A and B are shown apart, each in its own frame.
Chain A
Amino acid sequence: MDQENDFRDAQDAGDRLIAAHASEDPFAAAFKATRMPMIITDPRQYDNPIIFSNDAFTKLTGYSRDELIGRNCRLLQGAETDPEAIAKLRTAISEERDLSIDILNYKRDGSTFWNALFVSPVRDETGEVIYFFASQLDFTNIKSKEAELAAARHMAEQEVARRTVDLTAALTTKTALVHEVDHRVKNNLLTIASIVKLQARMTESDVVERTLMSVLNRVEALSTVQRKLLNDEDVGHFDVADFANDLATDVIGALKRTDIVLTTDLREVVVPATKASPLALIINELVGDAVRRGLRDGGGEIHLEVRRLNGHFLIRVVDTVTPVDVDREEAAFSQKMLEACLQQLRAKLERRVEGRLTEVSVTLLVKD
Protein backbone atom coordinates (compact mmCIF):
# COMPACT_ATOMS: atom_id res chain seq x y z
CA MET A 1 0.00 0.00 0.00
CA ASP A 2 1.34 3.42 -0.86
CA GLN A 3 1.06 6.39 1.42
CA GLU A 4 -1.85 7.90 -0.48
CA ASN A 5 -3.94 4.78 0.11
CA ASP A 6 -2.91 4.65 3.76
CA PHE A 7 -4.08 8.18 4.26
CA ARG A 8 -7.39 7.44 2.57
CA ASP A 9 -8.00 4.36 4.70
CA ALA A 10 -7.22 6.24 7.88
CA GLN A 11 -9.36 9.18 6.78
CA ASP A 12 -12.23 6.78 6.04
CA ALA A 13 -11.86 5.14 9.44
CA GLY A 14 -11.93 8.53 11.07
CA ASP A 15 -15.00 9.51 9.08
CA ARG A 16 -16.75 6.29 10.04
CA LEU A 17 -15.93 6.98 13.68
CA ILE A 18 -17.40 10.45 13.44
CA ALA A 19 -20.41 9.22 11.46
CA ALA A 20 -21.18 6.68 14.16
CA HIS A 21 -21.75 9.58 16.47
CA ALA A 22 -24.37 12.13 15.84
CA SER A 23 -22.94 15.63 15.44
CA GLU A 24 -24.70 16.61 18.61
CA ASP A 25 -22.99 13.73 20.45
CA PRO A 26 -21.63 15.47 23.52
CA PHE A 27 -18.72 13.02 23.75
CA ALA A 28 -17.48 13.74 20.22
CA ALA A 29 -17.94 17.47 20.80
CA ALA A 30 -15.99 17.21 23.99
CA PHE A 31 -13.22 15.24 22.31
CA LYS A 32 -12.85 17.94 19.64
CA ALA A 33 -13.08 20.91 21.94
CA THR A 34 -11.11 19.77 24.95
CA ARG A 35 -7.85 21.46 25.79
CA MET A 36 -6.36 18.03 26.41
CA PRO A 37 -4.43 16.86 23.28
CA MET A 38 -5.91 13.54 22.18
CA ILE A 39 -5.60 11.11 19.27
CA ILE A 40 -7.20 7.86 18.22
CA THR A 41 -5.39 5.17 16.26
CA ASP A 42 -6.71 2.13 14.40
CA PRO A 43 -4.78 -1.03 15.23
CA ARG A 44 -6.67 -3.02 12.60
CA GLN A 45 -4.98 -1.03 9.87
CA TYR A 46 -1.37 -1.52 8.84
CA ASP A 47 1.05 0.17 11.31
CA ASN A 48 -1.72 1.34 13.66
CA PRO A 49 -2.17 4.79 12.06
CA ILE A 50 -3.69 7.89 13.64
CA ILE A 51 -7.24 8.15 12.41
CA PHE A 52 -8.29 11.09 14.49
CA SER A 53 -6.67 13.98 16.33
CA ASN A 54 -8.12 17.05 18.01
CA ASP A 55 -7.16 20.72 17.79
CA ALA A 56 -5.39 20.62 21.10
CA PHE A 57 -3.07 17.94 19.68
CA THR A 58 -2.30 20.15 16.68
CA LYS A 59 -1.67 23.08 18.96
CA LEU A 60 0.73 21.02 21.04
CA THR A 61 2.70 19.32 18.27
CA GLY A 62 2.45 21.80 15.39
CA TYR A 63 1.23 19.09 13.01
CA SER A 64 -2.01 19.78 11.14
CA ARG A 65 -4.66 17.10 11.11
CA ASP A 66 -3.82 16.29 7.48
CA GLU A 67 -0.22 15.71 8.42
CA LEU A 68 -1.22 13.33 11.20
CA ILE A 69 -3.92 11.17 9.76
CA GLY A 70 -2.50 7.92 8.42
CA ARG A 71 0.82 8.28 10.30
CA ASN A 72 2.00 6.17 13.19
CA CYS A 73 2.52 8.02 16.48
CA ARG A 74 6.25 7.39 16.31
CA LEU A 75 6.54 10.58 14.25
CA LEU A 76 6.65 12.28 17.69
CA GLN A 77 9.80 10.38 18.65
CA GLY A 78 13.32 11.59 18.08
CA ALA A 79 17.00 11.11 18.84
CA GLU A 80 16.73 11.92 22.54
CA THR A 81 13.63 9.84 23.20
CA ASP A 82 14.42 7.10 25.69
CA PRO A 83 14.48 3.75 23.82
CA GLU A 84 13.26 2.06 26.96
CA ALA A 85 10.12 4.24 27.01
CA ILE A 86 9.54 3.42 23.31
CA ALA A 87 9.89 -0.28 24.05
CA LYS A 88 7.37 -0.07 26.91
CA LEU A 89 4.92 1.75 24.66
CA ARG A 90 5.33 -0.84 21.93
CA THR A 91 4.83 -3.72 24.37
CA ALA A 92 1.69 -2.16 25.86
CA ILE A 93 0.16 -1.75 22.39
CA SER A 94 1.03 -5.28 21.25
CA GLU A 95 -0.30 -6.68 24.54
CA GLU A 96 -3.38 -4.39 24.29
CA ARG A 97 -2.84 -2.90 27.75
CA ASP A 98 -3.24 0.58 29.30
CA LEU A 99 -0.02 2.52 29.70
CA SER A 100 0.87 5.71 31.44
CA ILE A 101 4.37 6.88 30.69
CA ASP A 102 6.54 10.02 30.63
CA ILE A 103 8.28 10.28 27.30
CA LEU A 104 10.33 12.95 25.51
CA ASN A 105 8.57 13.83 22.23
CA TYR A 106 9.36 16.11 19.32
CA LYS A 107 7.17 18.81 17.79
CA ARG A 108 6.93 19.50 14.09
CA ASP A 109 9.58 22.26 14.40
CA GLY A 110 12.02 19.82 16.00
CA SER A 111 11.72 21.23 19.52
CA THR A 112 11.10 18.76 22.32
CA PHE A 113 8.46 18.50 25.02
CA TRP A 114 7.91 16.18 27.94
CA ASN A 115 4.78 14.20 27.31
CA ALA A 116 2.79 12.52 30.07
CA LEU A 117 1.26 10.00 27.70
CA PHE A 118 -1.73 7.85 28.51
CA VAL A 119 -2.64 5.10 26.02
CA SER A 120 -5.68 2.89 26.40
CA PRO A 121 -7.22 0.22 24.11
CA VAL A 122 -10.89 0.62 23.16
CA ARG A 123 -12.78 -2.67 22.63
CA ASP A 124 -15.98 -3.48 20.84
CA GLU A 125 -18.75 -5.76 22.22
CA THR A 126 -16.76 -8.87 21.22
CA GLY A 127 -13.74 -7.65 23.11
CA GLU A 128 -11.67 -6.95 20.06
CA VAL A 129 -9.49 -3.86 20.22
CA ILE A 130 -10.80 -1.48 17.60
CA TYR A 131 -9.06 1.73 18.63
CA PHE A 132 -6.32 3.01 20.76
CA PHE A 133 -7.06 6.21 22.55
CA ALA A 134 -4.11 8.39 23.57
CA SER A 135 -4.08 11.59 25.58
CA GLN A 136 -1.04 13.80 25.97
CA LEU A 137 -0.03 16.25 28.63
CA ASP A 138 2.89 18.61 28.14
CA PHE A 139 4.75 18.77 31.45
CA THR A 140 7.98 20.29 30.13
CA ASN A 141 7.66 23.14 32.64
CA ILE A 142 7.35 20.76 35.55
CA LYS A 143 10.18 18.64 34.17
CA SER A 144 12.50 21.62 33.76
CA LYS A 145 11.66 22.78 37.29
CA GLU A 146 12.43 19.27 38.47
CA ALA A 147 15.72 19.40 36.62
CA GLU A 148 16.47 22.82 38.08
CA LEU A 149 15.67 21.52 41.55
CA ALA A 150 17.78 18.43 41.00
CA ALA A 151 20.66 20.56 39.72
CA ALA A 152 20.33 22.95 42.64
CA ARG A 153 20.21 20.05 45.06
CA HIS A 154 23.22 18.49 43.41
CA MET A 155 25.14 21.77 43.69
CA ALA A 156 24.09 22.17 47.30
CA GLU A 157 25.19 18.63 48.06
CA GLN A 158 28.53 19.26 46.38
CA GLU A 159 28.93 22.44 48.38
CA VAL A 160 28.06 20.63 51.60
CA ALA A 161 30.55 17.89 50.73
CA ARG A 162 33.25 20.45 49.95
CA ARG A 163 32.62 22.36 53.18
CA THR A 164 32.53 19.14 55.16
CA VAL A 165 35.97 18.29 53.83
CA ASP A 166 37.18 21.80 54.75
CA LEU A 167 35.64 21.63 58.21
CA THR A 168 36.96 18.14 58.86
CA ALA A 169 40.44 19.30 57.87
CA ALA A 170 40.08 22.39 60.07
CA LEU A 171 38.88 20.29 62.99
CA THR A 172 41.76 17.84 62.56
CA THR A 173 44.21 20.74 62.55
CA LYS A 174 42.54 22.27 65.58
CA THR A 175 42.53 18.99 67.48
CA ALA A 176 46.20 18.42 66.63
CA LEU A 177 46.97 21.98 67.73
CA VAL A 178 45.10 21.60 71.02
CA HIS A 179 46.97 18.35 71.73
CA GLU A 180 50.28 19.95 70.80
CA VAL A 181 49.66 22.98 73.03
CA ASP A 182 48.43 20.74 75.85
CA HIS A 183 51.53 18.61 75.50
CA ARG A 184 53.80 21.67 75.58
CA VAL A 185 52.05 23.13 78.62
CA LYS A 186 52.39 19.81 80.45
CA ASN A 187 56.04 19.52 79.50
CA ASN A 188 56.76 23.12 80.47
CA LEU A 189 55.07 22.70 83.86
CA LEU A 190 57.16 19.61 84.51
CA THR A 191 60.28 21.45 83.33
CA ILE A 192 59.48 24.38 85.67
CA ALA A 193 59.07 21.88 88.52
CA SER A 194 62.38 20.25 87.54
CA ILE A 195 64.19 23.60 87.55
CA VAL A 196 62.84 24.47 91.00
CA LYS A 197 63.72 21.01 92.33
CA LEU A 198 67.20 21.16 90.82
CA GLN A 199 67.92 24.42 92.59
CA ALA A 200 66.35 23.17 95.82
CA ARG A 201 68.66 20.18 95.73
CA MET A 202 71.74 22.28 95.04
CA THR A 203 71.23 24.93 97.68
CA GLU A 204 73.00 24.71 101.02
CA SER A 205 70.51 27.01 102.70
CA ASP A 206 67.55 25.46 104.49
CA VAL A 207 65.51 28.61 103.99
CA VAL A 208 66.11 28.62 100.23
CA GLU A 209 65.27 24.95 100.02
CA ARG A 210 62.07 25.38 102.02
CA THR A 211 61.09 28.36 99.89
CA LEU A 212 61.72 26.53 96.66
CA MET A 213 59.79 23.48 97.86
CA SER A 214 56.92 25.78 98.79
CA VAL A 215 56.93 27.17 95.23
CA LEU A 216 57.20 23.64 93.85
CA ASN A 217 54.15 22.60 95.84
CA ARG A 218 51.96 25.25 94.18
CA VAL A 219 53.42 24.65 90.72
CA GLU A 220 52.62 20.98 91.14
CA ALA A 221 49.01 21.74 92.11
CA LEU A 222 48.67 23.62 88.84
CA SER A 223 50.41 20.77 86.99
CA THR A 224 47.84 18.38 88.36
CA VAL A 225 45.05 20.67 87.14
CA GLN A 226 46.55 20.61 83.66
CA ARG A 227 46.86 16.83 83.80
CA LYS A 228 43.25 16.46 84.91
CA LEU A 229 41.91 18.79 82.23
CA LEU A 230 41.41 17.68 78.65
CA ASN A 231 41.54 14.02 79.50
CA ASP A 232 38.44 13.21 77.45
CA GLU A 233 36.01 14.77 74.97
CA ASP A 234 34.76 17.07 77.71
CA VAL A 235 37.50 19.58 77.02
CA GLY A 236 37.65 22.55 79.36
CA HIS A 237 36.00 20.86 82.31
CA PHE A 238 37.38 19.75 85.59
CA ASP A 239 36.12 17.39 88.27
CA VAL A 240 37.03 18.91 91.64
CA ALA A 241 36.39 15.66 93.52
CA ASP A 242 38.70 13.68 91.25
CA PHE A 243 41.44 16.25 91.73
CA ALA A 244 40.90 16.34 95.51
CA ASN A 245 41.18 12.56 95.72
CA ASP A 246 44.45 12.46 93.79
CA LEU A 247 45.93 15.35 95.72
CA ALA A 248 45.03 14.07 99.18
CA THR A 249 46.09 10.49 98.39
CA ASP A 250 49.40 11.65 96.95
CA VAL A 251 50.20 14.13 99.74
CA ILE A 252 49.28 11.75 102.56
CA GLY A 253 50.90 8.79 100.79
CA ALA A 254 54.18 10.64 100.36
CA LEU A 255 54.33 11.41 104.12
CA LYS A 256 54.91 7.65 104.51
CA ARG A 257 53.28 7.56 107.94
CA THR A 258 51.16 4.66 109.03
CA ASP A 259 49.41 6.75 111.70
CA ILE A 260 47.41 8.97 109.38
CA VAL A 261 43.78 8.13 108.74
CA LEU A 262 42.42 9.70 105.56
CA THR A 263 38.69 9.61 105.04
CA THR A 264 36.83 11.20 102.15
CA ASP A 265 33.34 12.06 100.99
CA LEU A 266 33.92 13.06 97.40
CA ARG A 267 31.07 13.53 94.92
CA GLU A 268 31.64 14.57 91.36
CA VAL A 269 31.45 18.34 90.93
CA VAL A 270 32.36 19.43 87.43
CA VAL A 271 33.36 23.07 86.99
CA PRO A 272 34.54 25.07 83.98
CA ALA A 273 38.29 25.16 83.37
CA THR A 274 38.50 28.80 84.44
CA LYS A 275 37.59 27.84 88.01
CA ALA A 276 39.89 24.83 88.09
CA SER A 277 43.12 26.52 89.15
CA PRO A 278 41.82 28.59 92.08
CA LEU A 279 39.78 25.62 93.33
CA ALA A 280 42.80 23.32 93.06
CA LEU A 281 44.96 25.82 94.93
CA ILE A 282 42.33 26.16 97.69
CA ILE A 283 42.23 22.39 98.25
CA ASN A 284 46.03 22.31 98.10
CA GLU A 285 46.31 25.04 100.76
CA LEU A 286 43.73 23.41 103.05
CA VAL A 287 45.35 19.97 102.90
CA GLY A 288 48.85 21.52 103.09
CA ASP A 289 47.85 23.52 106.16
CA ALA A 290 46.70 20.37 107.99
CA VAL A 291 49.96 18.64 107.04
CA ARG A 292 52.04 21.55 108.36
CA ARG A 293 50.03 22.00 111.57
CA GLY A 294 50.75 18.47 112.74
CA LEU A 295 49.86 15.68 110.34
CA ARG A 296 53.42 15.47 109.00
CA ASP A 297 55.01 15.41 112.45
CA GLY A 298 52.60 13.43 114.57
CA GLY A 299 50.05 11.80 112.30
CA GLY A 300 46.34 12.08 113.01
CA GLU A 301 43.10 12.15 111.11
CA ILE A 302 42.05 14.10 108.05
CA HIS A 303 38.66 14.11 106.40
CA LEU A 304 38.06 15.64 102.97
CA GLU A 305 34.66 16.46 101.52
CA VAL A 306 33.72 17.78 98.09
CA ARG A 307 30.04 17.94 97.26
CA ARG A 308 27.04 20.06 96.38
CA LEU A 309 24.99 21.52 99.21
CA ASN A 310 21.73 23.43 98.65
CA GLY A 311 22.82 24.91 95.34
CA HIS A 312 26.23 25.63 96.78
CA PHE A 313 29.42 23.78 96.33
CA LEU A 314 31.17 22.72 99.49
CA ILE A 315 34.78 21.88 100.18
CA ARG A 316 35.29 20.75 103.75
CA VAL A 317 38.48 19.66 105.44
CA VAL A 318 38.44 18.39 109.02
CA ASP A 319 41.62 17.37 110.74
CA THR A 320 42.56 16.16 114.18
CA VAL A 321 46.24 16.61 114.88
CA THR A 322 48.64 17.31 117.69
CA PRO A 323 49.52 20.92 116.88
CA VAL A 324 53.14 21.82 116.22
CA ASP A 325 54.73 25.23 115.74
CA VAL A 326 54.38 26.33 112.17
CA ASP A 327 56.71 28.54 110.22
CA ARG A 328 54.99 31.92 110.47
CA GLU A 329 56.16 33.11 107.08
CA GLU A 330 54.97 29.91 105.42
CA ALA A 331 51.60 30.07 107.18
CA ALA A 332 51.15 33.71 106.16
CA PHE A 333 52.01 32.89 102.55
CA SER A 334 49.54 30.00 102.53
CA GLN A 335 46.87 32.27 104.01
CA LYS A 336 47.54 34.87 101.29
CA MET A 337 47.24 32.24 98.54
CA LEU A 338 44.00 31.02 100.06
CA GLU A 339 42.53 34.54 100.30
CA ALA A 340 43.44 35.36 96.72
CA CYS A 341 41.75 32.22 95.40
CA LEU A 342 38.66 32.74 97.60
CA GLN A 343 38.37 36.30 96.32
CA GLN A 344 38.67 35.20 92.73
CA LEU A 345 35.89 32.63 93.17
CA ARG A 346 33.82 34.89 95.48
CA ALA A 347 33.85 31.98 97.89
CA LYS A 348 33.28 32.07 101.63
CA LEU A 349 35.46 30.36 104.21
CA GLU A 350 34.51 29.34 107.72
CA ARG A 351 37.02 27.99 110.18
CA ARG A 352 36.21 26.29 113.48
CA VAL A 353 38.88 25.14 115.92
CA GLU A 354 37.97 22.93 118.86
CA GLY A 355 40.92 21.58 120.76
CA ARG A 356 42.89 19.38 118.35
CA LEU A 357 40.15 19.52 115.74
CA THR A 358 40.13 22.06 112.94
CA GLU A 359 37.24 22.29 110.52
CA VAL A 360 37.38 24.48 107.43
CA SER A 361 34.43 24.87 105.09
CA VAL A 362 34.61 26.71 101.77
CA THR A 363 31.34 27.38 99.98
CA LEU A 364 30.72 28.92 96.61
CA LEU A 365 27.92 29.15 94.13
CA VAL A 366 28.17 26.96 91.07
CA LYS A 367 25.93 26.88 88.04
CA ASP A 368 24.48 23.51 87.14
Chain B
Amino acid sequence: MKILIVEDEVLLAMELESEIEAAGHDIVGLAADSREAKDLIDSVRPDFAFVDIQLIDGPTGIEVGRHLSAKSIPYVFVSGNLKRIPEDFAGAVGAIEKPYTMNGLQNALSFIESFVAGKSDEKTPPPSLVMSPEVLAKIAA
Protein backbone atom coordinates (compact mmCIF):
# COMPACT_ATOMS: atom_id res chain seq x y z
CA MET B 1 0.00 0.00 0.00
CA LYS B 2 0.99 3.61 -0.57
CA ILE B 3 0.93 5.13 2.90
CA LEU B 4 0.93 8.71 4.17
CA ILE B 5 2.12 9.60 7.67
CA VAL B 6 0.80 12.78 9.28
CA GLU B 7 2.83 13.36 12.47
CA ASP B 8 4.59 16.45 13.79
CA GLU B 9 7.25 14.62 15.86
CA VAL B 10 9.99 13.69 13.40
CA LEU B 11 11.47 10.89 15.52
CA LEU B 12 8.08 9.26 15.96
CA ALA B 13 7.31 9.69 12.25
CA MET B 14 10.63 8.08 11.32
CA GLU B 15 10.07 5.07 13.54
CA LEU B 16 6.51 4.65 12.34
CA GLU B 17 7.86 4.84 8.79
CA SER B 18 10.39 2.04 9.36
CA GLU B 19 7.78 -0.19 11.02
CA ILE B 20 5.40 0.32 8.10
CA GLU B 21 8.15 -0.28 5.56
CA ALA B 22 9.22 -3.41 7.45
CA ALA B 23 5.67 -4.66 6.99
CA GLY B 24 6.13 -4.26 3.23
CA HIS B 25 4.49 -0.94 2.43
CA ASP B 26 5.66 2.26 0.74
CA ILE B 27 5.69 5.58 2.50
CA VAL B 28 4.62 8.18 -0.04
CA GLY B 29 4.78 11.18 2.23
CA LEU B 30 5.38 12.64 5.69
CA ALA B 31 3.40 15.69 6.74
CA ALA B 32 3.78 17.70 9.94
CA ASP B 33 0.90 20.15 9.52
CA SER B 34 -2.57 20.06 8.03
CA ARG B 35 -1.79 22.03 4.85
CA GLU B 36 1.14 19.81 3.97
CA ALA B 37 -1.05 16.81 4.70
CA LYS B 38 -3.90 17.96 2.46
CA ASP B 39 -1.51 18.86 -0.38
CA LEU B 40 0.05 15.40 -0.18
CA ILE B 41 -3.35 13.70 -0.06
CA ASP B 42 -4.37 15.55 -3.23
CA SER B 43 -1.07 15.03 -5.08
CA VAL B 44 -0.03 11.47 -4.20
CA ARG B 45 -3.42 9.92 -3.39
CA PRO B 46 -2.25 7.44 -0.72
CA ASP B 47 -4.06 4.12 -0.19
CA PHE B 48 -3.97 4.56 3.56
CA ALA B 49 -2.88 7.11 6.16
CA PHE B 50 -1.77 7.35 9.80
CA VAL B 51 -2.90 10.66 11.26
CA ASP B 52 -1.80 12.26 14.53
CA ILE B 53 -4.37 14.69 15.90
CA GLN B 54 -2.01 17.28 17.40
CA LEU B 55 0.03 18.75 14.55
CA ILE B 56 2.32 21.78 14.20
CA ASP B 57 -0.66 24.00 13.38
CA GLY B 58 -2.78 22.72 16.30
CA PRO B 59 -5.28 19.90 16.76
CA THR B 60 -5.91 19.84 13.03
CA GLY B 61 -5.56 16.09 12.54
CA ILE B 62 -9.35 15.71 12.66
CA GLU B 63 -9.68 18.10 9.73
CA VAL B 64 -7.03 16.11 7.81
CA GLY B 65 -9.03 12.99 8.62
CA ARG B 66 -12.22 14.47 7.17
CA HIS B 67 -10.30 15.44 4.04
CA LEU B 68 -9.16 11.80 3.66
CA SER B 69 -12.66 10.56 4.36
CA ALA B 70 -14.09 12.86 1.67
CA LYS B 71 -11.73 11.21 -0.80
CA SER B 72 -12.66 7.72 0.46
CA ILE B 73 -9.12 7.06 1.64
CA PRO B 74 -9.12 4.79 4.71
CA TYR B 75 -6.98 5.91 7.65
CA VAL B 76 -6.42 5.58 11.39
CA PHE B 77 -5.75 8.21 14.01
CA VAL B 78 -2.59 7.86 16.08
CA SER B 79 -3.04 9.91 19.22
CA GLY B 80 -2.20 10.18 22.91
CA ASN B 81 -5.74 11.27 23.65
CA LEU B 82 -8.46 9.24 22.00
CA LYS B 83 -11.10 11.41 23.70
CA ARG B 84 -10.34 14.08 21.15
CA ILE B 85 -11.71 11.90 18.38
CA PRO B 86 -15.27 12.87 17.45
CA GLU B 87 -18.01 10.29 17.99
CA ASP B 88 -18.22 9.44 14.28
CA PHE B 89 -14.41 9.00 14.24
CA ALA B 90 -14.37 11.57 11.38
CA GLY B 91 -14.57 8.67 8.97
CA ALA B 92 -11.50 6.92 10.40
CA VAL B 93 -11.32 3.12 10.46
CA GLY B 94 -10.02 3.28 13.99
CA ALA B 95 -7.32 4.65 16.25
CA ILE B 96 -4.00 3.60 17.72
CA GLU B 97 -3.37 5.06 21.13
CA LYS B 98 0.03 6.49 21.96
CA PRO B 99 2.33 5.34 23.40
CA TYR B 100 1.91 2.20 21.31
CA THR B 101 4.31 -0.73 21.58
CA MET B 102 6.18 -2.32 18.71
CA ASN B 103 4.07 -5.46 19.07
CA GLY B 104 0.86 -3.46 19.33
CA LEU B 105 1.72 -1.48 16.21
CA GLN B 106 2.63 -4.57 14.21
CA ASN B 107 -0.60 -6.31 15.22
CA ALA B 108 -2.60 -3.21 14.32
CA LEU B 109 -0.81 -3.04 10.97
CA SER B 110 -1.59 -6.62 10.03
CA PHE B 111 -5.23 -6.17 11.00
CA ILE B 112 -5.43 -2.99 8.93
CA GLU B 113 -3.90 -4.81 5.93
CA SER B 114 -6.55 -7.50 5.97
CA PHE B 115 -9.30 -4.99 6.68
CA VAL B 116 -8.36 -2.78 3.74
CA ALA B 117 -8.05 -5.87 1.55
CA GLY B 118 -11.62 -6.72 2.55
CA LYS B 119 -10.70 -9.73 4.69
CA SER B 120 -11.97 -8.18 7.90
CA ASP B 121 -13.79 -11.35 8.95
CA GLU B 122 -10.50 -13.13 9.53
CA LYS B 123 -10.00 -12.13 13.16
CA THR B 124 -10.90 -9.68 15.88
CA PRO B 125 -8.96 -6.42 16.07
CA PRO B 126 -5.97 -6.40 18.46
CA PRO B 127 -6.25 -4.39 21.71
CA SER B 128 -3.87 -1.80 20.28
CA LEU B 129 -6.37 -0.85 17.59
CA VAL B 130 -9.58 0.85 18.71
CA MET B 131 -12.09 0.47 15.90
CA SER B 132 -14.66 3.11 14.99
CA PRO B 133 -18.26 2.25 15.96
CA GLU B 134 -19.17 2.03 12.26
CA VAL B 135 -16.40 -0.44 11.43
CA LEU B 136 -17.12 -2.45 14.58
CA ALA B 137 -20.73 -2.82 13.47
CA LYS B 138 -19.56 -3.87 10.02
CA ILE B 139 -17.22 -6.50 11.48
CA ALA B 140 -19.97 -7.83 13.74
CA ALA B 141 -22.44 -8.07 10.85
Contacts and interface: CB of A to CB of B under 8 A. Distances in A.
Interface stretch (B6-14, B26-34, B38-46, B112-120): B6-14
Interface residues of A, number: 28
Contact of A194 (B11, B97, B127): B11
A198 B98 contact: no
B133 interface: no
Contacts of B98: 186-187, 190, 227
Given A194-B14, A197-B15, A249-B126, A226 B101 contact: no
A52 to B, nearest CB: 81
A35 interface: no
Contacts of A224: 99, 101, 104
A227 B99 contact: yes
Contacts of B128: 246, 250
Interface string B84-114: 0000000000000111111110110010000
Interface in A167-207: 179, 182-183, 186-187, 189-191, 193-195, 197-198, 201
A253 interface: yes
A226 B99 contact: yes
B72 interface: no
A54 to B, nearest CB: 77
B107 A195 contact: no
Given A189-B99, A250-B126, A194 B12 contact: yes
Nearest to A249: B127
A253 B81 contact: no
Interface string A215-254: 0100010011011000000000000000001100111011
25 contacts: A179-B81, A183-B54, A186-B98, A187-B12, A189-B99, A190-B98, A190-B99, A191-B9, A193-B102, A194-B11, A195-B11, A197-B18, A198-B11, A201-B18, A220-B103, A224-B104, A226-B99, A227-B100, A246-B128, A250-B103, A250-B104, A250-B127, A250-B128, A253-B106, A254-B106
Given A186-B80, A198-B11, A246-B127, 8 more contacts: A187-B9, A187-B98, A193-B99, A194-B12, A194-B15, A223-B99, A250-B126, A253-B126
Listed from nearest, the 4 A-B pairs whose CB atoms lie closest are A254-B103, A190-B99, A223-B99, A220-B101
